[in-house]
Structure 1
Amino acid sequence: MWLPYRADEFEKLPEGLDYLHWDGEQEYPGDPADCVFYVVPYMRTPEISQRPLPELTSVQVVQTLSAGVDHVQPGLGQLRPGVRLCNARGVHEASTAELTLTLILASLRGVPDFVRGQDREEWRSGFRPALADKSVLIVGYGSIGAAIEDRLVPFELERVARVARSERTTARGSVHPLTRLPQLLPEADVVILSTPLTETTRGLVNAGFLARMKDGALLVNVARGPVVDTDALLAELGSGRITAALDVTDPEPLPAGHPLWHAPGVLISPHVGGPTSAFLPRAKRLLVDQLHRFVNREPLRNVVLETGR
């Protein structure tokens, strides 16, 4: 079992197993061919995450500690058939939803401008938009999207619309398919992106998508940078027609000198939706549960796909 944390940092791991610590270092902790359960190091590059895959000839489970699996999925073709890929559903919902609310409120109420004013000892008062009475569209209504809506409930919104890959009904209301975006975008004051990065969602937020957003709308991206066409977004931001709050960018990390840093009406946080004090306890609980399920031959949680199928 390859874990990115030392076994003595956990409570109640299954006994009798060989736990090796690997967090992306150049040297492997043992022979990759002996690894049957690979926990992908958290917040490492795709190159590091995928590097052991060709040598994991006995692996049965690949477990990410992120909600998205796009950083390991391209390398799965190097694995034998029947390997289960599991994500970290249940680990990041609280942190990501908190940051989403933070970005929305900070953007609408002008908090970055207040900070600049404080730096210059300037009293920048005046009316600012409120979240109350706004219409919100959540694009990507999985567990994170639902957690975001849970935290939006007390804010006296006019409406919340939900969009996902497939149409369904939830306790909070209807979830519309992606094909409904052209009709829903012009009605939304705040558009939240919380969708996984897939071939369907890569570049989803293009010039046409942005053009359908209403004047003065706020785009919030807590999904993945490539969901948004950066050049198209820069064009809209430059016009002043919409604003944006981005926890993820394309490229990422955003290099010095990139025009997005200084585009008008944009607030940028450095991909910090997941790494908070809430992460580690939830990640460890997930891993302990998954390892017990694996040892006891019980169904694993959060299986995204099985190789060869």
Structure 2
Amino acid sequence: MFHRNSSDFHTRELGGFRLKIAMLLGIDKRDRIFGPEHLAQLRELGEVTLNEETGNPSEEQMRALIAGADVAITSWGCGALTERVLESAPNLQIVLHAAGTVKPIVTEALWQRGVRVANATEALGQGVAETALGFTIVSLKDMWRLSRETAAGGWGDGSRVREVYGLTVGVVGAGRAGSHYIKLLQQFDVRIVLYDPFVSEEQARKMGAQKLELEELLRESDVVSIHLPSLPETYHMFNAERLAMMKDDAVLINTARGSVIDEEALAAELRRGRLFACLDVTDPEPPQADHPFRTLPNVILTPHLAGAVNNGLRRIAKGVVNDLRAYLDGRPLRGEVLAEQMHLLA
């Protein structure tokens, strides 16, 4: 089957035809992610078909929306782009997923048709990295405990406060979020160590980190920030044995997936008072009402807010527009996902 490349779009423009862009996400999600300025930018690039229904689109709705489209924009709640859906869009060239993992929408039929796919993990990763940095600073400053003591009428002496200086920060996973966290840490005088089996020592150095094995990283780090996908290989990677390797008074941050931590083992370690944990994710979510993470004094538990939320969702829209422009210009896509990468994705 013949598939057009981006230069064909310019040919269509010159021939009086406009690029056809189908937004499959419902109006409720669309309005949360895309502002009027982003829709205007998309309309400058082509003819935009909008889903004016709320909720997740059915297969029949997707077939109708995507009919004749060159570009499809999906997001959370959009179903799989099956062969039946794709039959309506024989000219489809690219899917821009305004969300994280593309697993809910990608099918083998999509790859067989040569359709390119990009997601918004870079935008989401920036928010996650910024949250992890916030947890790092506030936890080292001991602000959580001091705030509680002050609210109760006390006035803490700050003897346990540490600066983000002269410490070792361990980063586990150098994907979009982990690599951006490393980038943000360049502003501080700290040693950054990295565990990621897919990153070479030279790549780690270029990022500003020293590559270590996981066990060595755990033994040497004052802060450990997890940035791993949920895969069979990462399930309970942080088990009792590895948690016991961590330094006394170390801070453990998880803004990735709850399944990477053995929660019973972490709760037992926290009861000993050795560690401090900042957990934005649990397994499952939310945790049970009587879960120890809700009451232990050395745990900060937040409701999965590390990624793009509220105004931060606009960053996703910006990334979608930028990747569409890059595609039309023949430039690399920031969020491109390849078929061979699917087994490594969250």
Secondary structure of 2:317's counterpart equals helix
Match for residue 258 of structure 1?
291
| Contact 1:53 1:78 (8 Å CA) reproduced | no
Q: Distance in 2 between matches of 1:23 and 1:31?
A: 9
Q: Distance in 2 between matches of 1:268 and 1:125?
A: 25
Secondary structure of 1:56's counterpart equals helix
| Aligned-residue offset at 1:78 | 7.1
| Aligned-residue offset at 1:176 | 3.1
Match of 1:148 among 167, 181, 203: 181
Instruction: Give CA-to-partner distance per residue, 1:245-284, whole Å, 9 cap, x none.
Output: 1111111123422222113411112222223566244222
Match for residue 142 of structure 2?
110
Aligned residues: 297
Q: Distance in 2 between matches of 1:244 and 1:190?
A: 10
Match of 2:41 among 3, 6, 12: 12
Unaligned runs of 5+ in 1: 43-47
Which of 1 and 2 has greater Rg? Answer: 2
**CA 1:93–1:77: 2 relative to 1, 3 Å:** closer
| Aligned-residue offset at 1:79 | 4.9
Q: Distance in 2 between matches of 1:8 and 1:278?
A: 10
Match for residue 18 of structure 2?
none
Q: Distance in 2 between matches of 1:100 and 1:20?
A: 35
**AA at the equivalent of 1:161:** V
| Aligned-residue offset at 1:299 | 5.6
Q: Distance in 1 between matches of 2:135 and 2:124?
A: 16
Listed as ranges, the matches of 1:189-228 within 5 Å are 189-228=222-261
> What fraction of aligned residue pairs are identical, expressed as a percent?
30
Secondary structure of 2:122's counterpart equals coil
Listed as ranges, the matches of 1:1-309 within 5 Å are 1-2=22-23, 3=25, 4-5=29-30, 9=36, 10=38, 11-13=40-42, 14-21=44-51, 25-26=55-56, 28=58, 31-34=61-64, 35=66, 37-42=71-76, 48-49=77-78, 51=79, 53-54=81-82, 56-58=85-87, 61-66=94-99, 68-69=100-101, 72-73=102-103, 76-77=106-107, 79-82=109-112, 83-130=115-162, 131-157=164-190, 159-168=191-200, 169-170=202-203, 171-173=206-208, 176=211, 180-276=213-309, 279-292=312-325, 300-306=333-339
Q: Distance in 1 between matches of 2:302 and 2:243?
A: 21
Length-normalised TM-score, structure 2: 0.72
| Contact 2:308 2:315 (8 Å CA) reproduced | no
Length-normalised TM-score, structure 1: 0.80
Between Structure 1 and Structure 2, which shows a larger proportion of helix residues? 2
CA RMSD of aligned residues (A): 3.3
